[in-house]
């Protein structure tokens, strides 16, 4: 039995929301990398959750470029919107668990890094060209 996936009207701001979320996370990851924090000072479980959200956003961007009918768009949209809704609270929780010295420095460093990112490509920075071309 062949299942047909129906086309779902996607919010027009979905791609920009995903791209901005990935850029914000990339800025956070790069800012953390520039700080003098030990692994014990970084909430590792929450960091892994942020990495997983970033991967979900990258997968959703890939899914948006697939031909109609190839994927279950309803499921993709449901999962993507749920992942986007999780980000603000996860970021707050993550930042609140950093040591006080990091909490004072991180916002300005993160903003500086974020300003240096190019919105037209850095959200794809960890996605290989082969994956984008559909080779994986």
pLDDT digits (tens, 9 = 90+) for 74-86: 999 999 999 999 9
Is residue 113 within 8 A of residue 17, CB to CB? The reply is no
Using left for φ > 0, alpha for ψ between -120 and 50, and beta otherwise, residue 38 falls in beta
Rounded-to-integer distance, Cα 76 and Cα 72, Å: 6
DSSP codes joined into one string, 42-94: S-HHHHHHHHHHHHHHHHHHHHHTSPTTSS-HHHHHHHHHHHHHHHHHHHHHH
Q: What is the mean pLDDT of the chain?
A: 86
Residue 16, C-beta contacts closer than 8 angstroms, at least 6 positions apart: none
Q: Residues in the chain with pLDDT < 50? A: 1-2, 120, 127-131, 135-136
What are the sequence ranges of the domains in the chain?
14-132
Q: Model-level pTM?
A: 0.81
DSSP 125: T
Rounded-to-integer distance, Cα 47 and Cα 35, Å: 15
Tell me the pLDDT tens digit for each residue of 16-40: 999 999 999 999 999 999 999 999 9
pLDDT given at position 135: 47
């Amino acid at each position: 039995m062949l299942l047909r996936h129906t086309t779902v009207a996607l919010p027009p701001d979905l791609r920009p929301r995903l791209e901005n979320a990935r850029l914000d996370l990339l800025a956070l990851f790069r800012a953390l990398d520039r700080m003098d924090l030990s692994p014990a000072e970084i909430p590792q479980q929450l960091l892994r959750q942020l990495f997983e959200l970033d991967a979900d956003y990258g997968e959703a961007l890939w899914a948006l470029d697939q031909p109609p009918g190839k994927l279950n768009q309803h499921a993709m949209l449901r999962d993507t919107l749920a992942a986007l809704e999780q980000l603000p609270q996860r970021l707050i929780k993550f930042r609140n668990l950093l040591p006080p010295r990091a909490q004072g420095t991180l916002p300005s460093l993160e903003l500086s890094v974020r300003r240096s990112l190019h919105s037209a490509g850095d959200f794809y920075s960890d996605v290989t060209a082969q994956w984008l071309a559909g080779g994986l």
